[in-house]
Structure 1
């Protein structure tokens, strides 16, 4: 019999213990492989485009991002992911994940290292919102370029285009008075242009649309594409099918703020006399109501083919052609100027030769009167000085109070340029002289014609023989004047009444059958011989101001007939009725009669 030693017995006991232990079950590793939380920390700049946190449904994860999110932003999102205990996820939580190419697959591996699950995370875009009212809608001022069959037919044409809201995703475009190459197409209005977001950094929004337009030339298919930029600018391309010929219109503009000036005026249009190219020009007149500029040539005329105007316009406006560019007004040609205000408002002026300065009076030369040496009259003009001289010289002899005042018409060194003519209504005391009425105030008057002092004995109205023989057809009378009405207005009875005086300038062209025939104070405005009249009046102007008026023809002008022209300046409008204010003063200079 074989016996175990104590040592062998001990080893056997240990082996039995360990053997028994190794047969018991070990704690198993987890097979859980779930994403329990998937979020974006929006305090991280890369996640700022996330507009709603992810929602986990089964193995699908969805979240939304801003409609304006770009691929660059989508490629750098950083999710925070929580998974089952002991599990791992790839891509890892906190790492940058690229969502720019569509859904991203996340794989979760359980603790046991073999169990896994996949989740698909998808970013969806918010519906875009467009700031139409706040930013896009409004009027845009810019320049248009036009090509016809790819050939330029118009460049840098100032125009305004209006953008209006149709609904939250659509705008309309309006381009009024569109024309090219002298062809007027009318108004281009695209009713619906659909907005979309732009991927180009310098562009915020795109738009496109199209429709068949009913224009002057017919039904023309039209498409539109364009962009709005963040700096307030707009680009538009309008493609028109003009009977099979492509017309492309491009517009680059900037949105107006609403505070821009709408004034588009030519405020001054002159010709520098020191420039020999302008030698044929006498003067110019601007008609703001009709937007015409009349050029008056000198009596001698001259070269009108290369005139160089100096033009002033409203502040912030622009003009084309520019000031200083030569123009040709020869042979009846006209030139058109377009003035564009700061807000795009346009005015078009037409420049034309209106006539020639056949007669010009600068009042530099004065001559002694025919009756008395102390009387001075402007050369070429008759005045009321002779009438006042009769009162002054002869009045005391016939019991009328003595008049010691100045003559009503006299020279001044302070004319518009050099000398001018003072025309004053003076207080002569109501009374009579040789049976004829002397008014309380004698109206200051100068006129083209003759003063017949001897007619005063029988008919005071006959003293003013109005008009000089005139061989040209007068068109306009212009000049410079200032006027101050007197304070005390006397009626025909010599009483002071509450009425303000007015200064007047009148012109009358009338027919005569002989040189001796004339109209006078009794019929100068009523005779059937009158062919044309014109007038100007003022209640007062402190500084020299230009006046101008046209003659209105009531009869056809016949160059074969004989005419006389009267131009009459009066310090008191109703002076011929013995109604005037003492001390009314008109100062006149540089009078021009423009003829055809």
Structure 2
């Protein structure tokens, strides 16, 4: 079949001159005024009555070649790897009312396939053209029919044929939405590592294209993205651009939905903490503050105001300045992080041991948050008693949400553990995804932050790393600065890695 198709198109491309059927009086027709121009249409091809191409978009150009003669040209036509040009240089017109017809015939002798008889007939009427080519390939005993239908353009139509947006809305298996490369015509996306072919075949894209253009397949139609899918965009003037949508890779999702909680402690120290063993919180130390007449905790299980699932985490900054002493800080910010909390009464910042082992290359840090800052911002850095705490009413508290990838071993092979002292400054940091806007958010707000590499570092496959997710209701809580009552809600946190 492929050989036959090649012969077919070789045949079409070689038709540069048809023997015309002309009237002796050679009439003069208004070709330039009415007929000449570019026509936007489609091409159908049949081989021995079997359709092998249907509705293929393409333009033809009709030009004056004589008083009653036109030329037809279909150029830059790509099909099955061949770039073809069809040019009929002499087609003689006959007028029938407002309609014009053209006919011609020719015997061709082509290498490899021998003699062919070709008949051409067409009609131009009221801005529309139809052209039929009937080709008898004698040596192969096959007949080919080519049909073109098109409508004349005004010349003011847009030539832009672009996909401007391509997304899989609400597709839980998609980890990286499609990225459009207009230069190459490629669109690539990524999915979770466990996505099945059935799930890929059920994806439905939402597509935006250039104004007044059309696209095939249409937006909102399910396609099987388990293999490449080709989209064809046709501009208003018939310009055609193809895009190939491909699965670029699979990614691993590490997710913290905060749906499961456990009760920790007893009596007045009893509080809730996430079930995930890799998650730690400042609530462990704060559970002892009742001994100093301080009530409440910096972390709560939230079951009413959530994004999805059964629960979310609510982090609250506690103003403990009125009771502060050598054991009670000026503030206790609510925090959740990956790692461990090991209380160090002599060095509070050393209590937070950030990070867990991570063997992927992190790509994105995603999740949902909302935030309400407290009313009174205070400076408690270095304070040892309530009188030394400074109020700063001109400052509004902000939250902090970040993920940090860092080297798990030093040059001598010793374990590296970042703490509250150096999580933001350590030379072992490799990459970070940091929430830029920690200001008030009345409703849950989605964040999707790419990891960026620090100090010119790169990810090295085979090297040991740790990943720290750190969320705090007061951005400067590690310096004992913040506002009592500042509240951060977080839900559905994800790390996307490769």
Superposition TM-score tier, normalisation by shorter sequence:
0.5 to 0.7
> Equivalences for 1:118-137 in 2 at 5 Å?
130=33
- Under a length normalisation based on structure 2, what TM-score does the superposition of the two structures give? 0.61
Question: Does residue 422 of the first structure (1) align with residue 313 of the second (2)?
Answer: yes
Partner of 1:311: 204
Please tell me whether the aligned partners of residues 269 and 287 of structure 2 are also in contact (alpha carbons under 8 angstroms): no
Matched, 1:467 2:331: no
Give the SS at the match of 1:461: helix
CA contact (8 A) 1:264 1:340 kept: no
Checking the alignment, whether the CA contact within 8 Å between 1:422 and 1:585 is kept in structure 2 is no
**1:386 and 2:284 equivalent?**
yes
Counterparts of 2:58 and 2:91 in 1: how far apart (Å)? 21
Structure 1 residues 591 and 502: CA distance shift in structure 2, 3 A: closer
Instruction: Report how far residue 464 of structure 1 moved.
Output: 1.8
CA distance in 1, matches of 2:316, 2:62: 63
Question: Contact 1:469 / 1:515 at 8 angstroms: preserved in 2?
Answer: no
Offset from partner CA, 1:27-82 (integer Å, 9 cap, x none)? xxxxxxxxxxxxxxxxxxxxxxxxxxxxxxxxxxxxxxxxxxxxxxxxxxxxxxxx
Q: Output the CA distance in 2 between the equivalents of 1:464 and 1:500.
A: 22
Deviation at 1:503, TM superposition (A): 5.2
* Cα deviations by residue, 1:212-261 (Å, 9 ceiling, x for unpaired): xxxxxxxxxxxxx997653x6566899xxxxxxxxx99765555996999
Residue 361 of structure 1: aligned partner: 256
Bigger RCO (CA 8 Å, 6+ sep): 2
2:337 pairs with 1:447: yes
Change (3 A) 1:129 1:524: same
Change (3 A) 1:265 1:479: same
Which residue of the other structure, out of 466, 485, 491, is the alignment partner of 1:564? 466
Q: Is the 8 A contact 1:473 1:557 kept in 2?
A: no
The 3-state SS of whatever aligns with 1:130 is helix
Residues 327/461 of structure 1: CA separation in 2 closer, same or farther (3 Å cut): same
Task: Report the CA distance between 1:522 and its aligned residue.
Answer: 2.1
| Partner SS state of residue 393, structure 1 | helix
Structure 2: segments with no counterpart, 5+ residues: 1-22, 103-120, 134-144, 182-186, 209-213, 380-389
Cα deviations across residues 335-363 of structure 1 (Å, max 9, x unaligned)? 34426478577654322332233x33332
Structure 2 residue aligned with 1:70: none
| Equivalent of residue 246 in structure 2, options 350, 354, 357 | 350
| Distance in 2 of aligned mates of 1:469 and 1:266 | 35
Query: Greater Rg, structure 1 or structure 2?
Result: 1
**Following TM superposition, by how much is the alpha carbon of 1:523 offset from its aligned partner in structure 2, in angstroms?**
1.6
Structure 1 residues 39-438: aligned runs within 5 Å? 130=33, 140=40, 143=42, 156-157=55-56, 179-182=78-81, 199=95, 230=126, 252=149, 265-268=165-168, 282-288=173-179, 291-298=187-194, 304=197, 307-314=200-207, 317-319=215-217, 323-328=221-226, 335-338=228-231, 340=233, 348-357=244-253, 359-369=254-264, 373-380=269-276, 381-389=279-287, 392-396=289-293, 402=294, 404=295, 407-428=298-319, 430=321, 433-435=324-326, 438=329
**Alignment deviations for residues 490-521 of structure 1 (CA, whole Å, 9 cap, x no partner):** 36453123657355332324323689641112
The one-character-per-residue Cα deviations of 1:410-437 (angstroms, maximum 9, x if unpaired) are 3324433322323344351556834478
Shift of 1:550: 4.2
Distance in structure 2 (CA, Å) of the matches to 1:488 and 1:533:
30
* Counterparts in 2 of 1:155 and 1:550: CA distance versus 1, 3 Å: farther
The one of 410, 413, 429 aligned to 1:530: 429
Matched position secondary structure for 2:284: helix
Query: d(CA) in 2 for partners of 1:552 and 1:434?
Result: 40
Instruction: Quote the offset at 1:524 in angstroms.
Output: 1.7
Q: How many residues align?
A: 414
- CA distance in structure 1 between the partners assigned to 2:487 and 2:90 by the alignment: 70
Given the alignment, which residue of 409, 417, 420 partners 1:521?
420
Deviation at 1:270, TM superposition (A): 6.4
Q: Is the 8 A contact 2:215 2:231 kept in 1?
A: no
The change in CA–CA distance for 1:580 and 1:306 in structure 2 (over 3 A counts) is closer
CA distance in 2, matches of 1:535, 1:347: 34
1:593 maps to 495
Q: CA separation of 1:324/1:437 partners in 2, compared to 1, >3 Å: closer, same or farther?
A: same
Q: TM (normalized to structure 1)?
A: 0.52
Partner of 2:142: none
Q: Would the alpha carbon gap of residues 126 and 319 (structure 1) be closer, same or farther in structure 2, given more than 3 Å must change?
A: closer
1-structure distance, mates of 2:448, 2:460 = 21
- State the alpha-carbon separation in 2 of the partners of residues 180 and 355 from structure 1: 35
* Other-structure match for 1:31: none
Residues 464-499 of structure 1: CA deviation (Å, up to 9, x unaligned): 2111123x3143445441424437583645312365
Q: Are the structure 2 counterparts of residues 262 and 467 from structure 1 closer, same or farther at C-alpha, using a change threshold of 3 Å?
A: same
CA change 1:128–1:353 in 2 (3 A) is closer
Unaligned runs of 5+ in 1: 1-100, 104-123, 207-224, 239-247, 272-280, 329-333, 397-401
Equivalent of 1:501, from 392, 398, 401?
Answer: 398
